[in-house]
Structure formats: structure tokens, C-alpha cells
Structure 1
Amino acid sequence: MAKVERNHIHLKSELPGERSASLQRLREQHVPRGPFNTSPAFIDRAEGAMVVDVDGNHLIDLAGAIGTLNVGHCPPTVVQAIKDQLDRFIHPGFNVLMYDSYIELAKKLNDITPGRFEKKTFFLNSGAEAVENAVKIARKYTGRRAIVSFDRGYHGRTFLTMALTSKVKPYKNGFGPLATDIYKLRYPYYYRKPEGMTDSQLDQFLIRQLEDFFIGEVPPEDIAAFILEPVQGEGGFVIPSPYFIQKIKEICTKHGILLIMDEIQTGFGRTGKMFASEHFGVEPDIITLSKSLGAGVPISAVTGRADVMDAPAAGEIGGTYGGSPLGCVAALEVINLLETVNLVNRATKIGRMILTKFKEMQQSFPVIGDVRGLGAMCAIELVKDPITKEPNKELTARVVAECNRRGVVLLSAGIYSNVIRILSPLVITDSQLHEALSVIDEVFQDLTEKG
């Protein structure tokens, strides 16, 4: 197979280059091994979907800081809004001195998030913080203790959120004991459903299991909330049916259980809707937001029904840096970009391009067991055999490493670590995306030919 013509990727050196390698040695000396790094490169500057590392190598970013950069690296209007804010004040602390951007952003999120009811919003720093506070609010409002999450779900790795998260290694191993009153249900995974079962039958089977769950694990009157990702992120971009999500909502409503939608990775246009919940025709009681909300400035939000959000008394929720002015002005510009440049529709086009290429590759490479996606949230699942569907974790790691070495910043995912996922900025050009996908194709060709 001919090598891909590079119009955007320019490599002056092998990755890592000399300067990146030097910084990596310092990293190993001064930073603990716990924080994982996907790319061997150290970044110098970036714009849109392009990154330049400290050795002058030009890379295409298909990771987007794990879904944080839907509007791309350094969007000019966001950068300018942050600069203007720096000239006024940096952080008076909303708990002490209030500022208008906090209120404006809360109002905007109340307006654009799913739900035809009065809503309220408050802000924090990270996705995990948003989830923890959503749980606190749900327990306060309902007076109940139990929280139910779903297998393969990822909600963070802080003390409470790692109990909600499924994957043991690397997120929970050795960090116990975990928070109590956390329970898990099964989530549909159609690619790995039992042989002979249809997608619809799997949905119905999992819904029927809920009755046994209420009998054998925890009664519904003790459950404060169900929390789920409308599309599972770290779990492997697993997409449920609208029927399944709607039935979960019906069961929650029947028993007075709140439904928390974790849209930290799926929000802000990623799936071809502003929020993935809109694909499923469900209005969550609470929604958690972060990642692409601030274009890389740390900020997260909890938005929900006004009566639910008002359950905690003054001082019972909040934090020193929650809703920083820099995060608020950045987020307002992010939302403006998504709406005015119509990046939500762009996500749908990007998704079609990615899935078309992945399905074409699937015909050539039997190791690609499944191709799936919603909007620009797309993935391929690698297997050792298309019949047995045994996960191919080893090849996945090799593909990701080699793509990064060749100038395409790429991530893996999945409960079995055998999924390659695409979270490119939505501002990526067609040319950049085609080149990056061609590099992935080239890597598959080279690695599968070599065994």
C-alpha cells in the first residue's frame, strides 16, 4: 500500500523528538507515573485540529483532550474573551463577590439543555465534581441513599465517582474501600449480545431484570437517582437504543427516582445534537456537563429541575474555584461558536466521513469487529476473531501507539481496552480528517501485514 501523502502532518523528527525526549526524562523524574500520557510529544502551540510540538512536528489531533476541544485548540473569540476577562479580574470567588458572566452562563445552560421545565445551574471545576454534586443534590432532594449506575459507565475517578465507574483497572484497583450505597445495572451492548438475541430482545431482557434488581438488591423507594451516559465514553462508545433510555426514564418517573444524564463527554455538539439526550427523546432531571464547555478552561456544570437544584440550603454546595470568571466567559463564547458556526451539524458530517472510512476498512481488516458512532463520536472495536469476538487489546495498543508516532493523536477506550475512538475537534477540515483517517488505514495495513 502506498504511503499517505502528507499535506498537514509534517514530521521533522521521529516522535518523540529530542526536546520531547528530554522533557520526558524530566517528567519521569518529577511527576508520578500515575497520570497516563497517550502521545510521546510535548506540545508547543496548537490551532483548530493541528498541534505543533516542541520539536517542530505538525500533528493532527483526533483526541481533542478526550473530548474537551469540540471548538478546537485556541479558538480566537474564546482566547480574546479570556484575555479581556484577565484585564478586569481573575477570580474574586463567586461565594464572596458575584459577577455577571456566572449568571449569564447559568441562564444560557438553563435555556439550551433538554427539559421543558424551569431549571437552575451552578458551576464547579471538573466533570467528577459535577457528578459528585449531582449525587449530593439527588440525595438531598429525595431523602434517599442509593445511587444506581451502569456497567461500563465512566463518571470519574475521585472517591465517590470511582464507585460509580465500572472498569477496575486502572480506575479503582487498590483504592478501596469504595463509597457505599452504589449499585450497578447492565447496559445494552448490542455487538456483544447473546447469540440469537435481537437488539430489541436484549433491551427487553435488561428492562425485565430491573424487577429482580428491585427485589434482590435495593428497593426503588431507597433509590435517589439513576446515572447514565447517553453514549458511553470510556466504556467504548456504546450506544443504547431510544427504547432502552425511554424505559429507564419511565421506571424512574414511576418510582420517584431522579434520572441524571452524564453528558460530560457527549455534550456540546459532539453527537450531532447539542446534547446527546436529545437523540433519545428524554428530559433528564439533572444533567452534568464539563469537557467541551470551556474549550480547555476548567469548568463544569450541574443543571437540573429548579425544585431539585434548590434542595440544598445555602452553603451546602459550591467551592472556591467553581464557575471561575475565565471559565464562564470561555463557555459563553464556546456556546456562541457552536450556535453561529453550526458546529452541531458539522459533527454529523464528520461522523459520516469517519464511519464511511471505518466501514471501508472493516471490509479489508477482519480484526475490525464493529464500527459504531453517533455524530462525531465514532469508534472501531478490534477483535482477534470476528466470530468469537475475543477482544484484541494488544493490537489496539499497537495501532494507537503507531498512529501517534506517525503524527495522528489518537486514543483507545473500552472495558476491554480494545476500542479506538475519535474525538476530533469539530472544526477539523475535511482535508485534515481525510489525511488522519488515511494514516490510520496505513497503520492497520502495516501492522496486520506484519502480524
Structure 2
Amino acid sequence: MDFSIKCVKSATKRSILISFYGSFHGTTYASTAISPVTSSMRRGLEPLVPSVYYSYFPDCLRCPMKQHYPECGIACFSTLEHLLQYVVDPDNVAGVFLEPIQGDAGVIVPPREYIVKLRSLCSEYNIPLIVDEIQTGLGRVGYWFAVNYFNIEPDLIVLGKSLGGGLPLSAIIGRAEIMDRWEGYAEMTSMAGHTLSCVAALANIEYIERNNLVEEAKRKGEYLRKRLLELKDKHDIVGDIRGLGLLYGVDIVKDKYSLNPDRKAALKIVWRAWELGLLTMTIGKYGNVIRIIPPLTITLEDLDRGVDILDQAIADVVKGRVDDRVLEFMRGW
């Protein structure tokens, strides 16, 4: 992500960066500045990169504006419009940085119209739109990229994690009029273009194509969603199921009436699931969302087994079969 920041700053000769509350773009110095997902990420590191501003991202379950979608008309979008009209000079904005689906915030999937309006607004002001597909790209959500689901074209796409097929590799894909305007040696690193990682990435992409894993992720994702919704209907502490393809979040709450996040229950469920043979983790702004992110090659049988274990783990926590003492072992999980 730091390189994408350098890229748009170099190309536009502008200084302001805009991101969204709940975003997670990494933990290096510049990417931390555009990642307001939790204050603990920046504790002791201030001041970070200057001239960074934030706007609301549509979290429709717990709307920061206390609205209800779709009746609200995506009211949260007005915060970005206000920012560009009254707070910053649009002609000095180097880029808007977006997770199309906010991963670490709790698998927050925005309404399609929000992303479409965002693309239109960036085009209107001639501001590059940089999309972070590190968690969502290469078939994870049932499309090659999440932007395909939203039917928009960004100016830059950032890839990583799955790109190298297990080896460390990241990449920036973008419009030539932006990429070709980098100056000097701003894009150089010692390990850039690492041969083994690049070979692995090519083999990985070929495997995805040859085995139709993007289409398989969509098909299996629909089945996974159906199974997870069964858990929501069954358990009062499952407040929401969110996701796309093979990326889902199970939102654990005190009860369905209040929808108050229950981090402790989520941690206990993760612990019990581990005891039963399922490895997962908690994420989210409140630490109460269980992330479901199986490999694209998973079978339906293993999906069933995983959801069954999660079902049992939730039931065991609800029945008080998991002692509070396990929370001591869950620090940093």
C-alpha cells in the first residue's frame, strides 16, 4: 500500500489522502495512517503521515449515522461529499483508498450503489481511486476482483497475500497515465520482482484459471451462505451473516434485539471450535466477528464439517460449557 501512496502522489503532485473509517491497509508507516480500524494500531506511533482524512464507510448493521438502509439513501456518502466540498481542496487530493469489502473491520459489504457513487465522484473531481484487493482479489469473493462485483473500474488495484500462492509477493496494477509518471527510484526495493515468488504467482493464477476456482468460489460461497444463515436462525447470539464468495463474517452479539457486540462470546466460540478441529479467528471493530475464509479448493463436505463444528461451538458457549478462563489464552488471538 505504501507504494500505491507513492505512486499517486508522484503522478498527481498532490498531498492529501482520503480513506474510510474501518479500513485496514497494512501496518507499515504510511499504510497505518490510512488504516483507522482500531486505535491500537497507531498507539505510540503518532504523528503519522500528514494530510490524511477519513469518511464514513457504510456499516449498515451499526450505522454511525443511526440510519437504516435503504431508506437512508446511503446517507453516509454525504460525509465524503462534505469533505470534498468544505474541508479539503479536491485539486490537492492524491487519491481515495478503498477496501471494497472491509475485511478486518468485520467483513463489511457495502451496498453496490455506494461504490458506484464513489467511482463517479472520484471521476468528477479527477481523483485516483485506489482499491485494496489484498484480501478480496484473485477469486476470493467469487469474482476475480471485488470491483467486478460492484461493476466499477478503479485507477489502481493493489494485490498481495494470495497472489504468491503462499510466497511473499504484492503488486500494483493501474492505468498507464498514473503508473508511468513515477519519478526517480521511488518504486525500487531490494526484493522487487523476486523470481521464485513471481514463478509461484504465475503458477497460482494458471491453477485458478485451469480449475475454474473463481466460479467455484461463487458456487461454494452460495452454499456457505445458506449454511451460515441456518446458524443465524438457530442461535440468538448470531446477529448477522455478511460476506461474498468464500469470505464471510459471523457477527456475535448479546442478543438479536440489541445487536450489542459480544467479544467474549466470540473468543470462546473460536476457542471451542479449535478444540473441535476448526481453526478461525475473531476480527471486527468490536472484536466480535468470526471470520470464515476457507481455501478456494475446499470441498462441500469440508464446508459442511466446518459449519457443523461452528454450530456445535456456538451451542456449547450458549450452554455455558466453555469456561471464562480460556479468555486468558485468547489474548492476541
TM-score if structure 2 supplies the norm length?
0.92
Q: CA deviation at 1:432?
A: 1.6
The reply on whether 1:198 has 2:59 as its aligned counterpart is no
1:248 alignment counterpart: 118
Query: Which 4+ runs in 1 deviate beyond 4 A?
Result: none
Which of 294, 305, 308 does residue 424 from structure 1 map onto? 294
1:15 alignment counterpart: none
Which of 179, 184, 188 does residue 54 from structure 2 map onto? 184
**1:201 aligned partner, one-letter code:** C
1:356-371 alignment runs, 5 A limit:
356-371=226-241
SS at match of 2:201: helix
2:330 alignment counterpart: none
Q: In 1, distance between residues paired with 2:181 and 2:6?
A: 10
2:142·2:244 contact (CA, 8 Å) conserved in 1? yes
Kindly provide the CA deviation profile for residues 377-431 of structure 1, in whole angstroms up to 9, marking residues without a partner as x. 1111111122221111111111112212222110221111111111110111122
Q: In 2, distance between residues paired with 1:389 and 1:164?
A: 28
Q: CA deviation at 1:168?
A: 2.8
Q: CA deviation at 1:177?
A: 1.8
Which of 342, 354, 361 does residue 212 from structure 2 map onto? 342
Q: In 2, distance between residues paired with 1:182 and 1:337?
A: 39
1:380 alignment counterpart: 250
Could you say which structure has the larger radius of gyration? Answer: 1
Q: CA deviation at 1:196?
A: 6.0
Q: In 1, distance between residues paired with 2:67 and 2:51?
A: 35
Q: In 1, distance between residues paired with 2:68 and 2:102?
A: 22
Which of 161, 167, 173 does residue 31 from structure 2 map onto? 161
1:397 alignment counterpart: 267
1:232 alignment counterpart: 102
2:303 alignment counterpart: 433
The reply on whether 1:139 has 2:9 as its aligned counterpart is yes
Q: In 2, distance between residues paired with 1:354 and 1:171?
A: 32
Kindly provide the CA deviation profile for residues 237-291 of structure 1, in whole angstroms up to 9, marking residues without a partner as x. 1011221111111111111100000000000000000111001111010010001
**1:241 aligned partner, one-letter code:** P
- With over 3 angstroms needed to count, the CA separation of the structure-2 counterparts of 1:383 and 1:428, relative to structure 1, is same
**1:425 aligned partner, one-letter code:** P
Unaligned runs of 5+ in 1: 1-130
Q: CA deviation at 1:181?
A: 1.0
Q: In 2, distance between residues paired with 1:402 and 1:175?
A: 35
SS at match of 2:8: helix
Q: In 2, distance between residues paired with 1:364 and 1:437?
A: 13
Q: In 2, distance between residues paired with 1:346 and 1:198?
A: 30
Which of 181, 186, 191 does residue 321 from structure 1 map onto? 191
2:320 alignment counterpart: 450
1:150·1:184 contact (CA, 8 Å) conserved in 2? yes
Q: In 2, distance between residues paired with 1:237 and 1:186?
A: 15
1:152 alignment counterpart: 22
Q: CA deviation at 1:206?
A: 2.0
1:117 alignment counterpart: none
SS at match of 1:412: strand
Which of 312, 325, 332 does residue 202 from structure 2 map onto? 332
Q: In 2, distance between residues paired with 1:406 and 1:234?
A: 25
Kindly provide the CA deviation profile for residues 21-61 of structure 1, in whole angstroms up to 9, marking residues without a partner as x. xxxxxxxxxxxxxxxxxxxxxxxxxxxxxxxxxxxxxxxxx
Q: In 1, distance between residues paired with 2:54 and 2:300?
A: 41
1:19-30 alignment runs, 5 A limit:
none
SS at match of 2:249: strand
1:137·1:312 contact (CA, 8 Å) conserved in 2? yes
Q: CA deviation at 1:209?
A: 2.6
SS at match of 2:17: strand
Identity %: 32
SS at match of 2:72: helix
Q: CA deviation at 1:314?
A: 4.3
1:152·1:167 contact (CA, 8 Å) conserved in 2? yes
1:190·1:199 contact (CA, 8 Å) conserved in 2? no
Q: CA deviation at 1:349?
A: 2.1
Q: In 2, distance between residues paired with 1:134 and 1:383?
A: 37
Which of 239, 260, 279 does residue 130 from structure 2 map onto? 260
Q: In 2, distance between residues paired with 1:141 and 1:292?
A: 28
Q: In 2, distance between residues paired with 1:323 and 1:219?
A: 37
Q: In 2, distance between residues paired with 1:329 and 1:432?
A: 30
Number of equivalences:
320
Kindly provide the CA deviation profile for residues 154-198 of structure 1, in whole angstroms up to 9, marking residues without a partner as x. 000111111111123442222222211111100001112366622
Q: Which shifted more, 215-224 or 367-376?
A: 215-224
1:300·1:323 contact (CA, 8 Å) conserved in 2? no
- With over 3 angstroms needed to count, the CA separation of the structure-2 counterparts of 1:324 and 1:196, relative to structure 1, is closer
Q: In 1, distance between residues paired with 2:129 and 2:81?
A: 18
SS at match of 1:187: coil
Q: In 2, distance between residues paired with 1:296 and 1:278?
A: 24
1:91-170 alignment runs, 5 A limit:
131-170=1-40
SS at match of 1:408: coil
- With over 3 angstroms needed to count, the CA separation of the structure-2 counterparts of 1:298 and 1:200, relative to structure 1, is farther
2:156·2:173 contact (CA, 8 Å) conserved in 1? yes
